[in-house]
Structure 1
Amino acid sequence: MLGAIKKFMRPPAGMDFDFRRPSGEPALAPADGVSWRVFANPIALYVGGVAAVLLELAEPSVRSGVWDHSGFRRDPGLRLHRTGFAAMVTVYGPRSAAQEMIAHVVRLHDKVRGTTPGGVAYRANDPRLLDWVQATATFGFTEAYHRYVRALSPSEKSAAFSEAEPAAKLYGATGAPRSWAEWEALLATTAPGLEGSDNLAEFITIMGNAPILPAPLRWLQRLLVRAAIDMTPEPVRSLPQLRGHGMRFGDAMFVRTLARAAALVPLGDMPPAQAARRVTAARSD
C-alpha cells in the first residue's frame, strides 16, 4: 500500500535524477527545516497536494490556466507524478538543479494565457496568481502533515512558509506568504473571489477514479481525497461541489495511522535519503 504511494516520490520515466550529486551542494530549503520532514511523508504529499489543487481550482483565473492548458484530464497520474517530482527537486535537489528546473517552468508558463469564462484575461506568470498557487501548495503539504503525521507548532508552520520563499521568488511569486499569519491574511483577501465550478466537481471525480493507484487500492485513493477535502479551509470546503465529500466516522484515525506508519518506513534510496547523503558529504569533507 505505502509502496504504491511512495512511487510518486520517485522521478517519472524519462526524468531520472540523482539527488546525491553534486556532493555537498545545499538545497533551496534547509536540510534541518520543516520542509524536509513534511515532504518525506508520501501521505502528507498526496493529501496536501489534492487540497492545494482544490484551493487553486476555486480561483477563477488559476482554474482556467490549469484546466485549459495542462494535460491533467488526459493523464492525471502522469501529471501528478511530474508535479510531485518537481516538488522533490525544489525541496531536496541541489540548488543549481532546482534553479534550472524552475527557470524552465517559468519559461513554459510564460506562454500560458487566456480569458476566463467570466471574461477576465489571465496569464500564468501573473505574480498575484503565482502568490496564490505557491501559498496553497505550502498550506496543503504543511496542514496535511500537521493533521495526519505529527502536530506542528505555530512557529514550525510559519517556518514552512519562510523556507519556501527562495523557490517562490524564483517562480515569480514575490508576494507569497512568509508566515502562517500572512497565509491567513492572503486567504481572507482572496476568499471573496473564490467560487465553485463544474471543473471542481470533475477534479474530485477524477481523483477518486483515475488509475493513479492500482485498482485494488482505489478505495484508498478516494479516502485520501476525502481527507484533503476535510482539511480544505473555508469558504472552499462549503462549496456545493465539496459539501458532503469529507471524511466519515473513523476515516481520520485510519489516515493518521497510515501516515504515521509511512513516517516509520525506511526511505532507502528515495530523494530525501539521497539528498541527506549529498548534504552530509559537505560536513564530512
Structure 2
Amino acid sequence: MLLPHQFIGEFLNQRFDKDVRRNYFKGMEFAAPVGDPGWFGPGSAVWHVHSHMQSLIFGLQCAAFMERLDPSIFWMGMHHSRLVKRDDNGVAVPEIDPKGAVVRLGHSIAFFIGTAYGSTETAERLALTVRSMHHTIKGTRPDGARYDADDPDWLRWNYATVVWGLATAHELYHPNPLRGKKIDQYYREFIRVGHALGGTDLPETKAEVAECLESYLPKLAVTHGTAVATGPELPMAQAAINWAIRDTMPRWAKQLIQHKDPNIVERTARRAAVWSVINGLHLAQGPIPEFRQAQARVKSGTTVKHTLPAYRLGDDPVRSRDEVERAFADA
C-alpha cells in the first residue's frame, strides 16, 4: 500500500510523463551511447544542481521574471511568443496564456534536463533548435528601437539572468546546496550552455554574473508585463510564488520593482515555507529518470571527462520560422 507522499509522487510523476516528458522529451537520448559523458558528466556541479527538478523549475521562473526587465525581451515576447494571450485580431495583450505557458515551460525543462544529462548528440541538437528559433526573432519595439535575439549584448543578459536564477534557487532551496567555490564551479561549467547558444564574453563566477546583471541597469525598466505580474492585488497562491521569485533578485533589481524585504524573522519563515513545499514535492517524486539513466550510461567510466559544445558562430543553416517550428515539434 502506498504511503500518502508516495501516492502524491506517483500522481505527479504520471502527470509529468503525460504533459511534459511525452510531448517535449521526444528524440532525447539519456541511456546511450555507453561511456558518453555529454557536456558535463559525473561529478559535475551541473549534474548535482539539475538533479533537483523542483528547484530547477523554480529557478527558471526566477530567471524569466528578471529577464523581462529588459524592454526588448518584453517586446520579443509580445511579438513572437505564444506565452502571451492574443485578441481576436491576433494582437498580443500583456497577459500570460495558460496553454502557451505550459508549452514554454515544457520546452525549457526539456532543454535544461537534456543539455545536462543527455548524450552529446542530444545536447547539440537541443542547442541548435534553440539557436534556430533565436535567429528568427528580430523586430522593432513601439518606441522604434530594434531588437535581435542574436545580438551578443542580449545573449549576455539572457545568459546571466538564467544562470543567476538557477544557481540562486539552488542555493536557497536545494537540501544539499553548493556554496562558495563549489557554486562558482556551477557557474563555470554552465557557461558551456551559454556558448552553445551563441553567447560570447560571458561572466564565469557568481560575482561576475552579479556585476554583469547590474551593469545593465541603465537599459532596464518596469514594463507593462512586469507591472501587471506583481503587486498586492494578486491571488494568494500567485502572490506567494511571486514573493519567492522576487526574493531571489539582487538588491538593485528589487528596488526597481519596489520590492522590500520583510524583517529577518518573517523572511526566514517565508523561505522555510517555500523550502518545505519544493522539497516536499522532490521527496514525493524522487530523482528524475533522466539523471538515473545518465548515471547508468557512465557507470563503467567515460571516454573523456566531458565533451564541449561544437557550435561556432555563423555555422547554423538558415531556416524559416515554419521550419524551426517543425524542428521544435520533432524535438
CA distance in structure 2 between the aligned counterparts of 1:100 and 1:203, rounded to whole angstroms = 33
Instruction: Show the counterpart of 2:43.
Output: 32
In structure 2, how many angstroms separate the alpha carbons of the residues matched to 1:222 and 1:34?
Answer: 32
Q: Larger RCO: Structure 1 or Structure 2 (Cα < 8 Å, ≥ 6 residues apart)?
A: 2
Q: 1:106 aligns with which of 121, 126, 131?
A: 131
> Within the alignment, does 1:198 sit opposite 2:198 as a pair?
no
Out of 64-73 and 255-264, give the one that drifted further.
Answer: 255-264
Q: Deviations over 1:205-231 (max 9, x none)?
A: 9xx88xxxxxxxx93x65333211111
Alignment of 1:1-285 (within 5 A): 4=12, 7=16, 11-13=21-23, 15-16=25-26, 17-73=28-84, 74=97, 75-149=100-174, 150-203=176-229, 219=237, 223-240=240-257, 243=259, 250-262=269-281, 264=283, 267=286, 270-282=289-301
Contact kept, 8 Å, 1:50 with 1:225, in 2: the verdict is no
The alignment yields a C-alpha RMSD, in angstroms, of: 3.0
TM-score by length of 2: 0.72
Distance of 1:253 and 1:269 partners within structure 2: 24
Classify the secondary structure of the residue corresponding to 1:103: helix
Does the 8 Å contact 1:116/1:122 carry over to 2? yes
Contact in 1 for aligned 2:74/2:223 (Cα 8 Å): no
Residues 266 and 53 (structure 1 numbering): CA distance in 2 closer, same or farther, change over 3 Å?
A: closer
Aligned length: 272
Please say if residues 134 and 168 of structure 1, whose CA atoms lie closer than 8 Å, have aligned partners that are also in contact.
yes
Structure 1: runs of 5+ lacking an equivalent:
210-217
What's the CA shift for 1:265?
5.2
Structure 2 SS opposite 1:235: helix
Whether the 8 Å CA contact 1:30–1:163 is kept in 2: the answer is: no
The CA deviation at 1:81 is 1.4
Letter in 2 for 1:226: W
Identity among equivalent pairs (%): 22
Given that residues 30 and 117 in structure 2 are in contact (C-alpha distance below 8 angstroms), is that contact kept between their aligned partners in structure 1? yes
- Provide structure 2 residue ranges, at least 5 long, that are not aligned to the other structure: 1-7, 85-96, 304-331
Secondary structure at 1:13 match in 2: helix
The Cα shift of 1:276 comes to: 1.4
The 3-state SS of whatever aligns with 1:11 is helix
SS at match of 1:177: coil
Q: 1:12 to 1:72 in 2, by over 3 A?
A: farther
Structure-2 separation of matches of 1:47 and 1:71: 20
Larger radius of gyration: 2
Question: For residue 191 of structure 1, what is the amino acid of its counterpart?
Answer: L
